[in-house]
Amino acid sequence: MSYVIPIWTPPALPVVGASDIFPVRRIFCVGRNYVEHQKEMGASGREQPFFFIKSEHALVPNGGEVHYPAKTSNYHYETELVVAIGKGGRRIPAAKATEYVYGYAVGLDMTRRDLQQVGKDHGRPWDFGKNFDEAAPCSALVPAAKIGHPAKGAIWLQVNGKERQKADLADMIWSVPEQIAYLSDYYTLEAGDVIFAGTPAGVGPVKPGDELHAHIDGVGDLKVKVVPAL
Ligand code: MN
């Protein structure tokens, strides 16, 4: 059997210290998962976690040049820990969740904030604000076998050399194991799924020419340059 149109290869992330790559199946993203960011987005309290999904085709492996997206005038960065699922499962207890993690990376949950706001204002989906071309730059993965499961450590972003976000992974409202447990109650998680684990406060706009440098202690770095729209 062959296909009637050319078949594509699955989006994938490089792995630090390996020649083999990690195929990406789905991209789950958690919303409002750091207290100070929750406040800047106008919410408070330990609400239940909520998620949205980006297409794996939004992935920009290793960062590099990212085009200013279409139909927005308020294009934002959100710096996030990325969790790569290495083994599938459902109803995973938080106490066992790290057994399902292959590794970690540094990601940017790029957002068309104005289009996301339209969705919020009208009770419509967030897809146009969150899931678009090149919306998920992500560094190489570092295997948990090498670094363990980071629950604390600095996470920061510089834009053109100036600090814009800075927090600690320990500031997450829902920990990575809790996120995996919650998601796996609603979805059968599969090897290749990744989770963007939420952004700290300080989100803001970027424009063509801006250079972003995201960092997480012990995990790595991600550099992105915004270039003019296609
Ligand atoms: Mn986010």
Break the chain into its structural domains and give their ranges.
12-227
Task: Compute, in angstroms, the gap from residue 18 CA to the centroid of ligand 1.
Answer: 28
Residue 46's pLDDT is what?
Answer: 77
Query: Rounded to the nearest 10 degrees, how much is the dihedral formed by the CA atoms of 183, 51, 179, 34?
Result: -170
Residue 41 pLDDT class (50, 70, 90 cuts)? confident
- Mean pLDDT, rounded, of the chain: 97
pLDDT at residue 40, rounded to an integer: 87
Chain mean position to CA 105? 9
Centre of ligand 1 from the C-alpha of residue 65, in Å:
20
Residue range 69-90: average pLDDT? 98
Distance 10 CA to ligand 1 centre (A): 23
Task: Quote the strand ranges of the chain, DSSP E.
Answer: 12-14, 21-23, 27-30, 51-54, 59-61, 64-67, 75-77, 79-85, 101-108, 111-112, 136-138, 142-143, 154-159, 162-168, 194-196, 204-205, 211-216, 220-227
| Mean pLDDT calculated for residue range 38-50 | 84
134 Cα–ligand 1 center, Å: 14
> To which residue do tokens 């146009």 refer?
128
pLDDT for 43 beyond 90: no
Q: Which pair of tokens denotes residue 63?
A: 């960062």
Using DSSP's 3-state secondary structure scheme, residue 10 falls into coil
| 97 Cα to the center of ligand 1, angstroms | 21
Residues 180 and 202: their CA atoms lie apart, in Å, by 25
pLDDT of residue 104: 99
Provide the percentage of residues in the chain whose pLDDT is more than 70.
100
Look up residue 14 and give its two tokens: 């490089």
72 against 47, higher pLDDT: 72
Mean pLDDT across the stretch 9-24? 97
Query: CB atoms < 10 A from the CB of 133, how many?
Result: 14
Expressed in angstroms and rounded, the spacing between residue 3 Cα and the centre of ligand 1 is 36
Residue 35's pLDDT is 86
Q: 17 CA distance to ligand 1 centroid (A)? A: 28
Pick the CATH number of 12-227 from 1.10.10.10, 3.90.850.10, 1.20.1440.230, 3.90.1310.10: 3.90.850.10
Q: Which one-letter DSSP state was computed for residue 55? A: -
- Mean pLDDT over residues 106-132, rounded? 97
* pLDDT, average across residues 76-94: 98
Distance 1 CA to ligand 1 centre (A): 40
Average pLDDT (84-105) is: 98
80 CA from centroid of ligand 1 (Å): 7
Give the pLDDT band of residue 37 (cuts 50, 70, 90).
confident
Mean pLDDT of 192-220: 98
